Structure 1
Amino acid sequence: MILVVGATGFLGSTICGMLARQGRSVRAVVRSSSDPVKVQALRDLGCDLVEADLKEPASLKLACAGVDTVVSTATTTLRDQGVDSIPDVDESGQLHLVEAAREGGVRHFVYVSFPSDLDGDVPSPLAKAKRAVENALRSSAMTFTILQPACFMEVWLGPAIGFDYAGGSAQVFGSGDAPVAYISLVDVARFVVASLDHPAARNVTLPLVAQNVSMNEAVRTFEAVSGRTFAVRRVPIEALEQQLAAARSPLEQSFGTLMLGVARGAAQQMDERQAAFGIECATVEEYARRSVTPIATS
């Protein structure tokens, strides 16, 4: 049995779909507050649903009962911080999950983190949370797979961060000339699924990257694919530094650190261990082609 924590998110639900199509037994964690449409989609996949919450350790013990493998993609970064927070969920909650899995006899734990290169000069609350969970896994008796994917295309080249490809506009951090490592969430899901059986995934911390592209290059790619000129709003590094200095909440501090890291450049070389999986990742151009509808030309 494979337990997926974060199953109602884009990455988690994609993983559940891939596992279900392979005929695997999947137990998906949902909450009482979960979107009913997303819950039904998991049910339609044939997933066994279990109600649990990272903020409620007792519920995690029940969720882990009889489970061989845990996959955790859960994060609060795109959720209501009034209900969930990075310290409560991304750090304490994930640590509770690691402990519940260890006590429950789980053999393999797959955790989706991010590269330490993005931690910032002063590690953000999200970075501290990720490293704490990574360290807990390394010191546990479980086999672990820590995946550190680069910037998600669907997030950093998507509307949530001001890259509005549907509206033909983009927010660019810094000069936009610094290369940034990207990877599609769909490909991260493929690596997660592959790591369940691949011998190269045992007790490793594996960075994942598809392509290094500057934000300006990404804008030009989307312009070429869509056939329209984007309106570009540039946010100077100085403004990002001021924004980070004024940040008070863990979410503001974490995203401020990440945005500044992207502005300064977050290139990443592919780890040779990634190639061993034989997974060909989508490029930014391929992501653009599946994301936008080209403008008809006469």
Structure 2
Amino acid sequence: MTSVLVTGGSGRLGRAVLEKLVAAGYDVRAVSRSRRAGAGGVRWVVADLTTGHGLAEAVSGADVVLHLASAPYKGRYTRRVELDGTAALLAAAREAGVRHLVYVSIVGVDRVPWGYFRTKVRAERLVRDGGVPWSIVRATQFHEFVAEAFQGMARFGVMVVDPGVPAQPVDVRDLAGHLAGVVARGPAGAIEEYGGPQTLTMEEAVRRWLRVRGLRRPVLRVRVPGALGRAFRAGHLVTEAAPAGAITWDDYLAGRSSGDRPGKV
């Protein structure tokens, strides 16, 4: 039986991935910095990416490592997880003879001039040069990330959006299924992209969110300035890659999976 070790297994995407891997029949282990009881077919192992403690033991016997752990916008800790942690994980995986490491990144990291994105590009480079057969999957923004951003704006009483910025949110359940497929097919030695099933403007997304939430907020249309705004409006956060997800923004807002949509059998 193929053994898969997952970092970031307690996160939003991680929980969905663990469920998919268990359902597919893999021997599944997940990394945690503190001791956890096994449940749902997952064995938890104690390791810390930021210190390297426990990583050798965690990767021992693993055929595949699915590296989901991230720490965006947390200053020095971001670097410790994204760069130092990835390097330490690669070293342990190389020593253990891991056959495939899958790294999850973000669509547009190499084209959008944003500090965190630059960190992800550096982490991708570590994976490519790390001496372990690899695959990199760049995903578009999660539904939850977009919804949380809108929720934050709503608290201030106004929704500020650049109407020229396209969005292509993806559901973590769709991405989790795609990642399980990447695990099954083996290392690609290439970067691929994965996005949601539809592209809409940020203004369309926010107006649908307000309608479903039953909220009344003015929508202020403001262009994001500078190089960042130009990169956003150029569509660098979206992708035409196929396959794509199935769960739309409207599905997510309604609490539906793709199979719950009217007309689906």
TM over 0.5: yes
2: distance between equivalents of 1:183 and 1:67?
A: 29
CA shift, 1:171, in A, is 3.6
2:208 match: 221
Paired residue for 2:9, among 7, 10, 18? 7
- In percent, how many aligned pairs have the same letter? 25
- Give the structure with the larger helix fraction: 1
2: distance between equivalents of 1:28 and 1:212?
A: 33
CA shift, 1:19, in A, is 1.2
Paired residue for 1:143, among 123, 128, 133? 133
2: distance between equivalents of 1:170 and 1:16?
A: 38
TM-superposition CA deviations, 1:67-112 (whole Å, max 9, x none) = 100001111127xx48x71111111111211221112110011110
1: distance between equivalents of 2:153 and 2:234?
A: 23
RMSD: 3.1
TM-superposition CA deviations, 1:164-194 (whole Å, max 9, x none) = 6998x77433x33421232112211111111
What TM-score, normalized by structure 2, do the two folds share?
0.81
1:155 match: 145
2: distance between equivalents of 1:233 and 1:72?
A: 38
Over 3 Å counting, the alpha-carbon distance change for 1:177 and 1:119 in structure 2 is: closer
Which residue identity is paired with 1:215? M
Over 3 Å counting, the alpha-carbon distance change for 1:65 and 1:288 in structure 2 is: same
Is structure 2 residue 108 aligned with structure 1 residue 116? yes
Paired residue for 2:118, among 100, 124, 128? 128
1:78-117 matches, within 5 Å, as: 81=74, 85-116=77-108
Which residue identity is paired with 1:270? E
CA shift, 1:232, in A, is 4.0
Which residue identity is paired with 1:114? I
1:1-298 matches, within 5 Å, as: 1-32=3-34, 39=36, 43-77=38-72, 81=74, 85-116=77-108, 119-121=111-113, 123-124=114-115, 126-156=116-146, 158-159=147-148, 161-163=149-151, 171-173=159-161, 175-198=162-185, 202-210=188-196, 211-226=198-213, 228-232=214-218, 234=220, 236-237=222-223, 262=232, 265-266=235-236, 268-271=238-241, 274-275=242-243, 280-290=245-255
Over 3 Å counting, the alpha-carbon distance change for 1:218 and 1:264 in structure 2 is: same
1:254 match: none
Which residue identity is paired with 1:132? R
TM-superposition CA deviations, 1:127-185 (whole Å, max 9, x none) = 232222222222244321101001111112x22x2336998x77433x33421232112
Gaps (5+ residues) in structure 1? 245-256, 292-298
Which residue identity is paired with 1:220? R
Which residue identity is paired with 1:207? E
1: distance between equivalents of 2:109 and 2:7?
A: 25
1:56 partner SS: coil
Q: How many residues are paired up?
A: 253
Which residue identity is paired with 2:107? P
TM-superposition CA deviations, 1:226-251 (whole Å, max 9, x none) = 5x34414648446x77xx9xxxxxxx
Which residue identity is paired with 1:4? V
2: distance between equivalents of 1:234 and 1:94?
A: 40
Aligned residues of 2:109 and 2:120 also touching (Cα < 8 A): no
2: distance between equivalents of 1:148 and 1:85?
A: 22
Which residue identity is paired with 2:121? R
Which residue identity is paired with 1:66? G
Over 3 Å counting, the alpha-carbon distance change for 1:261 and 1:230 in structure 2 is: farther
1:296 match: none
Over 3 Å counting, the alpha-carbon distance change for 1:166 and 1:232 in structure 2 is: closer
Aligned residues of 1:118 and 1:261 also touching (Cα < 8 A): no
What TM-score, normalized by structure 1, do the two folds share?
0.73
2: distance between equivalents of 1:203 and 1:265?
A: 25
1:151 partner SS: coil
1: distance between equivalents of 2:100 and 2:108?
A: 23
